[in-house]
Amino acid sequence: MSSPALADFLDASVRSATPLLLAALGETVAERSGVINVGIEGTIIAGCLAGLVAATVVGPNAALLAAGIAGIGIALIFVVVAIGLAADQIITGTAITMLGLGLTSTLYRVIYGDGGAALSAPTLSVIGIPLLQDIPVVGRALFRQPLPTYLAELMVPAIWYWLHRTQSGLAIRATGENPGASLASGISTRRVQTTAVLFGGMCGGLAGGTLVLAQVGTFTEGMSAGRGFVAIAIVALGRWHPVGVAMAALVFGMASALQFLFQALNLNLPYQIFLALPYLLTLLALALTRGVYRAPAALGARKAVRG
C-alpha cells in the first residue's frame, strides 16, 4: 500500500469518526446517568440545519455553537417526556428522531423554498499544527483537521475527568447504577439525568454542525443518515468509557473510510461487509464481556426511584 493512499485513508477515518465521536461522547454521559436516548439522531439532524442557517448569517465558528444549542433544544423535549413524565425512554427517543428528521426537512423548505436548492454554507477551515502536520502518514490525520476534530479529541479526557474526578460526575455514575442509593445520598436523580441528557443533546448538535460545517458544506434531508444509531453502537463497543468510546469511534470511522481506500486502490471489494463488521463486533463484545465495563445497571429503567 502506498503511503499517500494510507495517509488519505487515515485522514478520511478521522474525518468520518469526528461527528460519530462527538455524538457518542454525549450519549456516553447520558447513558452513564441511566438514560438511553435513541433520539440522538434527531439532535444531530437539528444540529445540521441550525449549523447551515447560522453559518449563512454569523459564519461557521459561531454556527457550530448554534448547532450545539439546537441539539439541546431537541433533547429538552426528550427530557420533558422521558424524565419529566417518566415515559418509556425508547419510544420517546424514537419519536424524537422522527420529530428531528421531519422538522428539519420542513423548516429547510420553509426557509429556503420548496426547491430545496442546494445551498452551500461557509465551512470551517482546516487548522494545521506547524511541523506536526508534516509527519509522514499520520501527520495529516492527527494534526491537520478542522476545529471540531480537536474539540472531540479534547472532550475525551475532559469527559473522563468529569465522570471520574468530579462530584457531579460521581453523581451521574451513581444514578446510572443505583438511583435509589443516589437519592438516599441526597442527590436529585432527576436533575442529574436532565443535565446528562442535555449535554448529550449538545454533543449531538455539535456532531450535526460538524457534518455541515466541516465536511459537506450544505444540508440535505436526512443527512444524519443513521449516525445517531451508530453513536449508540459506539458507546456499547466502547464499554461506556470515554477512551473506549474514542477507539470505537475510530473503528467505525475506519470502516466507513475503507470505501475510499478501496476506490483509491482500485479494489472491487464489497465495502458493506466492512461497514457491517463493527456492528457485529459490538454485538459480540456485548454478548461476551462481563465485569466492570458493562452497561450501567439502571440503563433505560423507567420506574427508577423518582427524585
Closest approach, Cβ 281 to another protein, in A, equals 10
Output 6 or 76, the one with its CB closest to another protein.
76
Q: Taking the CA atoms of the chain, what radius of gyration do you get in angstroms?
A: 19
- What is d(CA 217, CA 164) in angstroms, rounded to the nearest whole number? 37
Closest approach, Cβ 151 to another protein, in A, equals 25
Output 57 or 288, the one with its CB closest to another protein.
288
Site of interaction with another protein (CB under 8 A) = 36, 38, 77, 81, 85-88, 90-92, 94-99, 101-110, 114, 165-167, 169-171, 173-174, 177-178, 180-182, 184-187, 221, 226, 229-230, 232-233, 236, 270, 272-273, 275-276, 279-280, 282-283, 286-288, 292, 295-297, 299-300
Output 146 or 253, the one with its CB closest to another protein.
253
Closest approach, Cβ 269 to another protein, in A, equals 11
Q: In the beta sheet, which residues pair with residue 145?
A: 127
Residue type, 188: S
Helices (H) and strands (E) in the chain, counts: 12, 2
Output 124 or 172, the one with its CB closest to another protein.
172
Closest approach, Cβ 233 to another protein, in A, equals 5
Output 1 or 288, the one with its CB closest to another protein.
288
- What is d(CA 70, CA 241) in angstroms, rounded to the nearest whole number? 26
Closest approach, Cβ 170 to another protein, in A, equals 6
Annotate 15-83 with DSSP letters as a single string.
HHHHHHHHHHHHHHHHHHTT---TTHHHHHHHHHHHHHHHHHHH-HHHHHHHHHHHHHHHHHHHIIIII
Output 51 or 278, the one with its CB closest to another protein.
278
- What is d(CA 136, CA 205) in angstroms, rounded to the nearest whole number? 33
Is the Cα torsion angle 234, 100, 93, 174 positive or negative in sign? positive
Output 68 or 100, the one with its CB closest to another protein.
100
Closest approach, Cβ 272 to another protein, in A, equals 4
In this structure, which long-range contacts are made by residues 6-10, counting pairs with CB atoms below 8 Å and at least 24 apart in sequence? 6/137, 7/136, 7/137, 7/138, 7/139, 7/140, 7/141, 8/260, 8/261, 8/264, 9/254, 9/257, 9/258, 9/260, 9/261, 9/264, 10/137, 10/138, 10/140, 10/141, 10/257
Closest approach, Cβ 68 to another protein, in A, equals 22
